[in-house]
Structure 1
Amino acid sequence: MTTIAVTGHMDLTQDSVPLVRAALDDLLGQHAREGRLVGVSCIAKGSDSVFAEAVLAAGGRLTVVVPSRDYRRNKVKPDHAALFDRLVEAAEETVTLSHETANRQAYEAANAVLIERADRLVAVWDGQPPTGKGGGTADTVLEARAAGVPVDVVWPEGAARRG
């Protein structure tokens, strides 16, 4: 069994989503063929949800990590709510962290859970350095590498972030 967690940008352009999905399908397909695949995701809008859908399409099992008790109510926007709910329903396991509110500490704690559970980390990442806000994609990549977790960067030709 291979457990792969994801970190990635939430602000993918609409044209980038199919490019990222195809790259994830290729990467996850390799692991699915080698044995049981478990994907771990916070299922935020963008990369996290695209990854979760790709895990399920590859026949893998999904574990969802929810950063805080109020995350669904206060952070999931209406345009993402139906997909978020569908992915929670499809998950074999949902881990809701004990933080009351979704804030930097909750996101950092969720990223720590991803890294703890992962045999590998997939980063849908443009390679830009950390912003200094904490809890972002680059921060998670650095934390995973420091913990000895192998990181697969996915940023296909033509992928871009919204302005």
Structure 2
Amino acid sequence: MRLGITGHLDLTVSTERAVVAALRRHLLACGVPGELIGVSCMARGADSLFAQALIELGGRLEVIIPSVDYRQSQVTPDHEPVFSAMLDRAAAVHQMPAARAAAEAYAEANRLLLASIDELVAVWDGGLDGPVGGTMDVVLTALACGIPVTVIWPEGAERG
């Protein structure tokens, strides 16, 4: 089974813990962890939490890098160790051709993600406002394409 991830970047520390537990439960419910393939754009927050949980359970990770300058322009110093570790563990890395990290680059990366998965996992508060290429946009696009979406937003979860 191929699972994609989308989700918020700005989760509180307590929300991150609850989300990791929920992601682990969902991944285990999806089948044999060693047979799971997860696809992530490796943003901080939900994308990285999903990637780490998947790897820890024995799944395979595929990473989509949205733009040529993504690492330099979007990966913050506090996220760099996780980003690098997950890239090192990835079974495949897909580099998108966009020169700059911007809304259209994210939208294009998300189109590739959606075209390659069986289910989208969304760490999403259900909000219906957001940028092109953001969590809401990916969820609504997946639903419009008939891709099943599992929303993970534990009770009491907050964005920080």
TM bucket (normalised to shorter chain) is over 0.9
Distance 2:33 2:125 in 1: 28
Does structure 2 conserve the Cα–Cα contact (< 8 Å) formed by 1:8 and 1:125? yes
Does structure 2 conserve the Cα–Cα contact (< 8 Å) formed by 1:19 and 1:158? no
Q: Which runs of 5+ in 1 are unaligned?
A: none
Secondary structure of 1:15's match? helix
CA drift at 1:130: 2.8
Distance 1:123 1:35 in 2: 21
Aligned residue pairs: how many? 160
Name the amino acid aligned to 1:101: R
Runs of 4+ displaced beyond 6 Å: none
Could you say which residue in structure 1 is the equivalent of 2:140? 142
Distance 2:32 2:69 in 1: 37
Distance 2:31 2:59 in 1: 7
Does structure 2 conserve the Cα–Cα contact (< 8 Å) formed by 1:130 and 1:136? no
Q: Which runs of 5+ in 2 are unaligned?
A: none
CA drift at 1:35: 6.8
Does structure 1 conserve the Cα–Cα contact (< 8 Å) formed by 2:61 and 2:92? yes
Could you say which residue in structure 2 is the equivalent of 1:129? 128
Identity %: 45
Q: TM-score, normalised by structure 1?
A: 0.95
Q: TM-score, normalised by structure 2?
A: 0.97
Distance 1:19 1:9 in 2: 14
Q: Structure 1 residues 142 and 77 mapped into 2: Cα distance closer, same or farther (>3 Å)?
A: same
Secondary structure of 1:16's match? helix
Does structure 1 conserve the Cα–Cα contact (< 8 Å) formed by 2:27 and 2:33? no
Does structure 1 conserve the Cα–Cα contact (< 8 Å) formed by 2:124 and 2:151? yes
Could you say which residue in structure 1 is the equivalent of 2:47? 48
CA drift at 1:98: 0.3
Q: CA RMSD in A?
A: 1.1
Does structure 2 conserve the Cα–Cα contact (< 8 Å) formed by 1:69 and 1:96? yes
Could you say which residue in structure 2 is the equivalent of 1:92? 91
Q: Does 1:39 align with 2:38?
A: yes
Distance 2:112 2:119 in 1: 13
Distance 1:21 1:116 in 2: 25
Aligned ranges 1:1-163 → 2 under 5 Å: 2-33=1-32, 36-131=35-130, 133-162=131-160
Secondary structure of 2:78's match? helix
